[in-house]
Amino acid sequence: MSMINQLQDVKTKDFAKHCYESSSVDKLRDAAEGSPDKAEMEHWGLTEGQWEEAIVAALADHEAKE
Q: Reply yes or no on whether the pLDDT at 49 is more than 70.
A: yes
Q: What confidence tier does 65 reach under pLDDT thresholds 50, 70, 90?
A: confident
pLDDT attached to residue 66: 73
The per-residue pLDDT for 1 is 60
Q: What is the pTM of this model?
A: 0.94
Residue 35 backbone zone (phi > 0: left; psi -120 to 50: alpha; other: beta)? beta
Q: How far is CA 50 from CA 6, 18, 65, 66, in A?
A: 13, 14, 23, 25
Q: Where are the domains of the chain?
A: 9-64
Average model confidence (pLDDT) across the chain:
95
- The predicted model gives 23-48 an average pLDDT of 96
